[in-house]
Structure 1
């Protein structure tokens, strides 16, 4: 799994805390923006979907499918202080049991998605840190 981290006030929530998936679990605005920005580069994803920890978009090509998760490290209400938050975007393959058994992880596609994510974020003047995790 690849994780991209950065600080920014660009993607702060605009709807109230009660509309978030959980208190402090922001990321819809980031996921929506990434979906649109990736579309401009020819990478078509899903609309944002919510999880307890934040938001994600999905990308599929051929038999490969990826989850692009978007979240932040924030406490309840912190997204409304007009201060930069620490955001995290991850790229994780979504594998069937058969794909896991065969070790089909599509690392080249994961790298392509990571490069595209870094490019669109850096294109907004955002400094990112990329980390590979097992």
Structure 2
């Protein structure tokens, strides 16, 4: 799994706190932007889907499926102060039991997605403060 962390005010929520998946769990705007930006690079994802921790988009290539998670590290209400907040994006393979047993992971696709995400952020003038593969 690859994790990218950065700070920005670009993806702050526009709907009120009670419309978020959980208080301080922002990420819809980031995941929507990322889906649209990746599409322009020829990387087709799903529309954003919500989880308790934030939002994600899915990427499928052949039999390989990846979750690209987008979330914030913010306190309730912090997204409405107009100040940069901490964000994270992770790229995680979604493997079936059969794929795990056969060792059918496709790490090169995860690397490709990570590079595309980093390029998109940097094109917006956002320099990640950390990038980690776990």
Please report the TM-score for the alignment, with normalisation by the length of structure 2. Answer: 0.98
Q: Cα RMSD over matched residues?
A: 0.5
Partner residue, 1:63: 63
Please report the TM-score for the alignment, with normalisation by the length of structure 1. Answer: 0.98
Return the alpha-carbon distance in structure 1 between the equivalents of residues 114 and 105 of structure 2.
14
Return the alpha-carbon distance in structure 1 between the equivalents of residues 103 and 33 of structure 2.
32
Runs of 4+ in 1 over 3 A off after TM superposition: none
Partner residue, 2:133: 132
Gaps of 5+ in 2: none
Partner residue, 1:37: 37
Give the total of aligned pairs.
Answer: 133
Partner residue, 1:25: 25
Alignment of 1:1-134 (within 5 A): 1-128=1-128, 129-133=130-134
Q: Which moved more, 1:98-107 or 1:113-122?
A: 98-107
